[in-house]
Amino acid sequence: MSSKHSVYLHLGSNLGDCIAMLQKATRMIAEQIGTICNASPYYETEPWGLSNQPN
């Protein structure tokens, strides 16, 4: 018997085609793990922590 679990993920990308990379990750999660019930819009922010990198 399987049970449902709620999971909250934060995805990020800052190299190459970021939107395409996030869309691919989202698609793979849906295919391999389960239904994605909701997703926020994409946001671009400045890097934090190791800040010597692209947005």
Which pLDDT does position 2 carry in this prediction?
72
Cα angle 27-46-24, degrees, rounded to a multiple of 5:
10
Local confidence pLDDT in tens for the 55 residues of the chain = 678 888 899 999 988 999 999 999 999 999 999 999 999 999 988 887 777 787 7
**Residue partners of 39: CB distance under 8 A and separation at least 6:** 26
Which pLDDT does position 1 carry in this prediction?
61
Which pLDDT does position 5 carry in this prediction?
85
Which pLDDT does position 51 carry in this prediction?
76
Which pLDDT does position 23 carry in this prediction?
96
